[in-house]
């Protein structure tokens, strides 16, 4: 199977859906003339023209609102934010218009659309450009929330998101656009709401999502060398969340470690911990352990970044502590 970059997988997903459905269009800052801030839309302006690949002003609230109106009127917009940190300005349109339109109109108007772009920390970008937004957007009924960790999942889930009749929030990462992975030439879709067991195991379950999945998988490799067989689950979809896959894994391993990039309070790991203790408490042989970013705004200094984010050794330590706890 061929290997392509993450950015190429995103471009292929958008381009294939635009060829398939003339209602689909892309808009956002620098998506057209500049070929995308991260070159995820390279060549799309030449193929589809300026009416379907649209450069916008630096006005996230404005172009998000335009896209919601377009979706209500039968089109299927893809809205690219240069970063989800900037999308804070567009949050009113995402959570008060797109998410609620179907319910508030009594089913007369939907908002089939995708809001996408990079999320989370991307190195030395400091506090206001290094935030993870999964838990915030997953709080709102009416939105579907996806966060991907590799090119294969990016293409398959983005295609599903574009075809979905609900508004979808789609998280990527600046630090993954150059990652390579195997992606089929033939068309495929990945269902929204289905987690993926990246590695099967029997001793402890590690649940994660997004680019920090790399840490989870490296930790599983290290644990294997130390005699601990970890099962690693990539959530892929945050809302709706695949509770069944998590529960079945915990029933098998009897231990759970949750790893995420965001802050601890009101986090995705908090939600997972509640679901597991309410549905599989009797199967737990040790307390649930979670690893998150430190409860502080993100720093600029590399040393403080390393200190704030959980690393491989932190996951290994948590898994082994859970494994050997009585």
144-198 pLDDT per residue, tens:
999 999 999 999 999 999 999 999 999 999 999 999 999 999 999 999 999 999 9
State the chain's mean pLDDT as an integer. 96
- The full set of domains in the chain, from first to last, is 3-182 (3.40.50.970), 196-324 (3.40.50.920)
pLDDT at position 326? 44
| Alpha carbon distances (Å) from 163 to 105, 156, 159, 172 | 21, 11, 6, 18
Catalytic residue of the set 60, 172, 261, 271: 60
Please tell me the distance from the alpha carbon of residue 247 to that of residue 288, in angstroms, as a whole number.
Answer: 13
Coil/strand/helix, residue 111? coil
pLDDT at position 234? 98
The percent helix, strand, coil of the chain (3-state, each to 5) is 40, 15, 40
Active site includes 129?
A: yes
pLDDT at position 70? 98
Active site includes 243?
A: no
pTM of the model: 0.96
Q: Among 253, 138, 234, which Cα is nearest to 194's? A: 234
pLDDT at position 325? 59
- The HSE-up count of residue 87 (CA atoms within 13 Å, CB side) is 28
**Per-residue model confidence as pLDDT tens digits over 261-314:** 999 999 999 999 999 999 999 999 999 999 999 999 999 998 999 899 999 999
Burial class (CB in 10 A: 0-12, 13-18, 19+), 107: exposed
pLDDT at position 110? 95
Catalytic residue of the set 17, 129, 134, 172: 129
Percent of the chain residues past pLDDT 90, beyond the cut: 94
Please tell me the distance from the alpha carbon of residue 61 to that of residue 117, in angstroms, as a whole number.
Answer: 15
The two tokens of residue 260 are 């995420």
């Amino acid at each position: 199977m061929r290997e392509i970059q993450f950015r190429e997988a995103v471009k292929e997903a958008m381009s294939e859906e635009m060829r398939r459905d003339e209602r689909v269009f892309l808009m956002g800052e620098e998506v057209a003339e500049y070929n995308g801030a991260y070159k995820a839309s390279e060549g799309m302006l030449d193929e589809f023209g300026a009416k379907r690949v649209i450069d916008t002003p630096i006005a996230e609230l404005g172009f998000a609102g335009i896209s919601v109106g377009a979706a209500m009127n039968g089109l299927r917009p893809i809205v690219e934010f240069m970063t989800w940190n900037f999308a804070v300005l567009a949050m009113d349109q995402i959570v008060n218009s797109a998410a609620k339109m179907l319910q508030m109109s009594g089913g007369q108007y939907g908002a089939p659309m995708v809001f996408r772009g990079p999320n989370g920390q991307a190195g030395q970008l400091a506090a206001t450009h290094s935030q993870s937004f999964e838990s915030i957007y997953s709080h709102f009924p009416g939105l579907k929330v996806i966060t991907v960790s590799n090119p294969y999942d990016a293409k398959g889930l983005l295609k599903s998101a574009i075809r979905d009749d609900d508004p979808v929030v789609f998280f990527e990462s600046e630090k993954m656009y150059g990652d390579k992975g195997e992606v089929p030439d033939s068309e495929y879709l990945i269902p929204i709401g289905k987690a993926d067991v990246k590695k099967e195991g029997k001793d402890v379950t590690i649940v994660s999502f997004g680019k920090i999945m790399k840490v989870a998988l490296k930790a599983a490799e290290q644990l294997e060398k130390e005699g601990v067989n970890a099962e690693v689950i990539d959530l892929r979809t945050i809302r709706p969340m695949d509770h069944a896959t998590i529960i079945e894994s915990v029933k098998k391993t009897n231990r759970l470690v949750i790893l995420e990039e965001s802050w601890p309070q009101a986090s995705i790991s908090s939600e997972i911990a509640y679901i597991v203790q309410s549905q599989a408490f009797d199967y737990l042989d040790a307390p649930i352990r979670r690893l998150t970013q430190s409860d502080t705004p993100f720093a600029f200094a590399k040393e403080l970044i390393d200190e704030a984010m959980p690393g491989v050794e932190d996951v290994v330590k948590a898994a082994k502590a859970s494994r050997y706890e009585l």
